[in-house]
Amino acid sequence: MDILIYGIINSVSLALMALGFTLVYGVSRLPNFAHGALYVLTGYMTWLFMNRLGLNYPLSILLSLVASACIGAAMYYFILVRVRGMPISEIIASYAIGLAILEGLRWGGLKGATFVLPPFIQGSTELFGVSVDFHRLVVVAAGIVLVAALWLFVNGTKIGLALKGMAQDERAALTLGIDSDRMAVIAMALGSMLAGLAALVLLPLGTIVVEAGYNVLIMAVAVCIVGGLGSWTGAVLASFLIGFAQILTVAYLGTHFQVVVALMAIIFTLIWRPSGLFGWQKELEERV
Amino acid sequence: MSVETRRKERIDRGIKVRSDGVYAISSWREMSYLMVPRLVFILGLLVLPLAFYYLPYWQRVISIICIYALLAISFDFLANYVGLVSLGGGFYVGVGAYIAALCNTKLGLSPLLTIPLSTVVGGAICTVLFLPCLPLRGVYFAIVSLMYPLLAARVIEALDIFGGTDGIFGVDPLPSGWVEQYILIVSVLLFAFGMRRIVDEDVGLVFRGVKDNDQAVKASGVNITTYKALGVFIASTMGCLGGACLVHIYMWAGLSQFALDFSIIPIAATVVGGGGTLIGPVIGSMILVPISELLRDFGTLRIAVYAVILTLFIVFKSEGIMNYATRKYEQFERWVEI
Amino acid sequence: MSPDGAQDTAQQPLLTVENVSKKFGGILALSQVSLDVFPGEIIGIIGPNGSGKTTFVNAITGFVKPDAGKVTFKGKDITSQEPHKIADLGLTRTFQVMRPYYSLPAYKNLIVPLFSPRARRTGGWRGGGKMGSRDTVAVDILEEIGFERDSYVPYKVASSLPTGYLKRLELARCLALRPDLIICDEVFSGLSMSEMASMVPLIEKLQMEGMTLIMVEHRLRELFRLANRVMVLNFGCKIAEGTAQEVMEQSDVKEAYFGSEEVYEYV
């Protein structure tokens, strides 16, 4: 039973980590390797707002989300837009930005276990005989709400539909009067905000450490690759696949293997089906 | 009015056509235009250890520069001539390092034997391990290769093999600092100029064909997987050589040899020095590694600094120093008699 | 129409395609297409846009794995083989979207086929694969195919060449391999009238030398001049096969293909 419950929690966490990455890749074909850095940065900013500026928790959350969206947008607008269309340069540039942020933070003093965000709700409860923190339930709820909200946003609003159009065919979208660069900026801002949201929901479960940035990046990439780059349903399904696989390996092999599972998942998926288990890109590629 | 008997001419005029292998170089003067920059580079590298004779710390830095230069050449070759962007240079270093350390401590081989051994064996092992990902292209290969060193480190950690997180201690050092530096400098020179030669040979043209248009290469009846594997072998050989030397310099093999530094600095060096030139990466590491040493006191700030330099170069000056310098050098003008 | 390529039922077909089908998602790109190609023939494949011509070529040459059907070349089953193995047997192709090795000079583009296992084994075009200096043979091939050596066209970087030369470079890349069968995917499209005028005799010459060709084309006038037989595809199905006149007569061909007025202008 606890495998089931913790499996679901873990899977939802993974989905949260990966949503922002998928969104950005899906819309603008930009693998944002600074994703993990934005995740850690948002958590750290919230901590700063609370402990250095003395703001209250909800306000600092709001501020840091806005800030991370701005940083994401600025990153695209000033740097990444210049390497658009050169996939390798995109990867290297975004990875380098992420590294600069993470290692800069580490140098700036983000070390040790002093950086903790409080959980939203204290205490724990029993669920089918398994003790679960309230906060973990918040994580699951947040995950479900976020996916639903994102779905409504994409299918219900004008900007959302424009993003979807871009994701399907950038050139066709251009001819319909959708400004692809503006949309990419919006997607990047949204994606960074999602990374931030994931951080705020997940970080109270542990401490804010630089390593989390690398782990989140690996997890996000793993989920997106297994699910098929750019495919949303794929990402959600894949996060459940990897989430449960991880919980099972932790239960039977030990915690060391948790990341190994994600890495193996990436390598095997790429070798076996580069388009991902639920992706459609390969099929398109073959048609050319 | 006097009649003009001379005019200005770019120094690469004439050289460009003839050096394509069609004509022989005509005069000593023109030959010197080609030779001087190369000689300065080669002799400069060879003299470097002597110049730092009284600064033993910086002599060590020269060795490190050479290791990064090897990795950077390997990245440049794979990315710009075979079309495989490998973000996991640390994997090659790690494999070379562990093989050398194991051969040295378990089998008791001398460093002069372990280095060539781990170079070749390591290259073969890396090639076999990369074999399944060779059909992948572009972004996908980049992501997988990025995962390889991470995976290797985690596997060693999780299985607690090869000394686990502690690593392997007690590796023999090289006989002397001179041997250490000259092994590395000579191999950097050999690889840099050797690779420049290879990419213009028939085999090299096939590599470049694979990069430009793999479908056309397939339609020419050439198995691209074979060539990609060969490319990875050549590249990982360089990485493993670097790793093996590193182990004997630090007398220790550990998980940090799979670390990010070995993946990111060579890429930065290639981008800064100029991709596709194979000499540029060497120049790039000669610039970046000393910066890293100067920033050693600031801990991880140096990685942040690299990352910023890398971003700036890739965004604003993506041709790199070497391409820029070559272009400028060839634009120099000289007087010729009419 | 040249008489020598006429169908001879006693002769073994060089290439046999039997009931090849291919689906992309829900779309049937090829449905049960069969074709026999005899040595020395020029076969034309025509059809409206999206009728599956390029997929057919891809399915034969191994770039797409067909879902069903069988492809036999020189008596060997090559269905779903790797493209390089098929090319090694002597079946090669040009690509509709020309992508030469842009960073290389034009003649260096031919080093790859001349250096390929097949060319090294059989000698390739004019024995260039075996000789020490592949460069010279590469330039010879290019000159033969219309790259003016005197104005250094073969030495120019491929990315600087105009479309006409790139199309010929594609063909030269195939020739260097000295294949038995070349599949040309729209070599005429994008060429100027004069470039086309020089291309037609070139292909006639290749046929005289015993080369077999399959040509996928939109330019019907040139194609009908060259082809011994024509196959018409529409929505992935073969709707007609025969000589140009025979094909033209068929009512469903007219309906499916020649119904549009713009095509009449070509014929």
Query: Per residue of chain C (267 residues), what is the pLDDT tens digit?
Result: 344 444 444 578 899 999 999 887 778 888 889 999 999 889 999 888 878 888 899 999 988 888 889 999 998 899 888 899 999 999 999 988 878 888 888 888 888 888 888 888 887 777 776 766 788 888 888 888 888 777 778 888 888 888 888 888 888 888 888 899 999 988 887 788 888 888 888 888 888 988 899 999 887 888 888 888 999 888 888 888 888 888 877 777 766 665 554 444 444
Residues C86 and C184 in one domain: yes
Residue pLDDT, tens place only, A114-145: 777 777 777 777 777 777 778 888 888 888 88
A273/B contact by beta carbon, under 8 A: no
- Report if residue B1 sits inside a domain: no
Q: Which of C179, C205, C222 is the last residue of a domain?
A: C179
Q: In this complex, how many residue pairs, one in chain A and one in chain C, have their CB atoms less than 8 Å apart?
A: 9
- Report if residue B320 sits inside a domain: no
Q: What is the DSSP letter of B167?
A: -
Split into its structural domains, chain C has a count of 2
Alpha-carbon distance C219 to nearest alpha carbon in chain A (angstroms): 21
Provide CB contacts within 8 A for C141, sequence distance 6+.
C110, C125, C126, C128, C172, C175, C176
Tokens of A227: 């699910």
User: C64 vs A283: CB contact, 8 Å cut-off?
Assistant: no
Tokens of C2: 């040249």
pLDDT at B185 over 80: yes
Chain B residues in contact with C114 (beta carbon < 8 A): 202
Q: Is A236 exposed, middle or buried (0-12, 13-18, 19+ CB in 10 A)?
A: buried
Alpha-carbon distance A268 to nearest alpha carbon in chain C (angstroms): 22
- Report if residue B232 sits inside a domain: yes
C64/A contact by beta carbon, under 8 A: yes
Poorest-pLDDT segment among A16-20, A36-40, A258-262: A258-262
Alpha-carbon distance A280 to nearest alpha carbon in chain C (angstroms): 9
Q: Which C-chain residues 2-61 have CB contacts (< 8 A) with chain B?
A: 61
Testing the interface with B: which of C84, C104, C112, C131 to mutate, by most B Cβ within 10 A? C112
Testing the interface with B: which of C97, C101, C107, C170 to mutate, by most B Cβ within 10 A? C101
C61/A contact by beta carbon, under 8 A: no
As a whole number of angstroms, the distance between CA B326 and CA B277 comes to 10
Chain C residues in contact with B21 (beta carbon < 8 A): 135
A83/B contact by beta carbon, under 8 A: yes
Q: Which amino acid is at A274?
A: P
Cα dist from A20 to A69, A154, A235, B116, C60, whole Å: 11, 13, 11, 46, 42
Domain span at B207: 52-260
Residues C66 and C194 in one domain: yes
pLDDT of residue B33: 76
* b/e B116-150 (16+ beta carbons within 10 angstroms → b): ebbbebbbebbbebbeebbebeebbbbbbbbbbbb
- Report if residue B307 sits inside a domain: no
Chain A residues in contact with B158 (beta carbon < 8 A): 254, 256-257, 260
pLDDT of residue C1: 38
As a whole number of angstroms, the distance between CA A225 and CA A96 comes to 21
Q: Which of C152, C179, C206 is the last residue of a domain?
A: C179
pLDDT at B16 over 60: no
CB atoms within 10 A of CB C127: 12
B136/A contact by beta carbon, under 8 A: yes
Q: Which of C163, C179, C195 is the last residue of a domain?
A: C179
- Report if residue B296 sits inside a domain: no
Alpha-carbon distance B198 to nearest alpha carbon in chain C (angstroms): 14
What subunits make at least 3 CB pairs under 8 angstroms with A? B, C
C25/A contact by beta carbon, under 8 A: yes
ipTM for this prediction: 0.82
Testing the interface with A: which of C24, C56, C67 to mutate, by most A Cβ within 10 A? C24
From B150, B268, B304, residue closest to A103, measured CB to CB: B304
pLDDT of residue A173: 76
- Report if residue B310 sits inside a domain: no
CB atoms within 10 A of CB C204: 14
Q: How confident is the model at residue B2 (pLDDT cuts 50, 70, 90)?
A: low
Q: In this complex, how many residue pairs, one in chain B and one in chain C, have their CB atoms less than 8 Å apart?
A: 91
B147/A contact by beta carbon, under 8 A: yes
Residues C21 and C60 in one domain: yes
User: C25 vs A286: CB contact, 8 Å cut-off?
Assistant: no
Let me know: does C31 contact C21? Beta carbons within 8 Å. Answer: yes
User: C63 vs B218: CB contact, 8 Å cut-off?
Assistant: yes
A74/B contact by beta carbon, under 8 A: no
Residues C174 and C209 in one domain: no
Split into its structural domains, chain B has a count of 1
Q: Percent of chain B having pLDDT more than 70?
A: 93
pLDDT of residue C265: 46
Domains recognised in chain A with CATH numbers: 2-287 (1.10.3470)
Chain C residues in contact with B213 (beta carbon < 8 A): 99-101
Q: How confident is the model at residue B12 (pLDDT cuts 50, 70, 90)?
A: low
Residues C118 and C240 in one domain: no
pLDDT of residue A113: 67
Chain C residues in contact with A286 (beta carbon < 8 A): 24, 64
Alpha-carbon distance A83 to nearest alpha carbon in chain C (angstroms): 20
Testing the interface with B: which of A88, A111, A253 to mutate, by most B Cβ within 10 A? A88
Cα dist from A76 to A70, A97, B271, whole Å: 10, 11, 20
Residues of chain A whose C-beta is under 8 A from some C-beta in C?
280, 283, 286-288
Q: Taking residues A157-163, what's their average pLDDT?
A: 81
User: C25 vs A280: CB contact, 8 Å cut-off?
Assistant: yes
Q: Is B332 exposed, middle or buried (0-12, 13-18, 19+ CB in 10 A)?
A: exposed
Alpha-carbon distance B36 to nearest alpha carbon in chain A (angstroms): 33
In terms of pLDDT, which residue wins out, A273 or C187? C187
User: C83 vs B215: CB contact, 8 Å cut-off?
Assistant: yes
Q: Which domain CATH number covers C241? A: 3.40.50.300
Q: Which amino acid is at A114?
A: T
- Report if residue B9 sits inside a domain: no
Residues C97 and C67 in one domain: no
Domain span at C41: 1-90+180-267
H or E stretch covering C35: strand C27-37
As a whole number of angstroms, the distance between CA C57 and CA C45 comes to 10
User: A283 vs C55: CB contact, 8 Å cut-off?
Assistant: no
User: A274 vs B298: CB contact, 8 Å cut-off?
Assistant: no
Alpha-carbon distance C89 to nearest alpha carbon in chain B (angstroms): 8
Residue pLDDT, tens place only, A228-257: 776 778 888 888 888 888 888 888 877 777
Instruction: For A5, list phi and psi in degrees, rounded to 5.
Output: -65, -50
C24/A contact by beta carbon, under 8 A: yes
Alpha-carbon distance C16 to nearest alpha carbon in chain B (angstroms): 19
What rounded mean pLDDT belongs to chain B? 85
Give the relative orientation of helices B138-159 and A257-272 as an angle to the nearest 10 degrees: 150
- In chain A, whose CA is at the least distance from the CA of B135? A271
Q: Which amino acid is at B274?
A: G
Chain B residues in contact with C116 (beta carbon < 8 A): 220-222
Partner residues linked to C70 by β-bridges? C18
Residues C82 and C133 in one domain: no
Residues C104 and C85 in one domain: no
Q: Taking residues A21-45, what's their average pLDDT?
A: 87
As a whole number of angstroms, the distance between CA B239 and CA B258 comes to 11
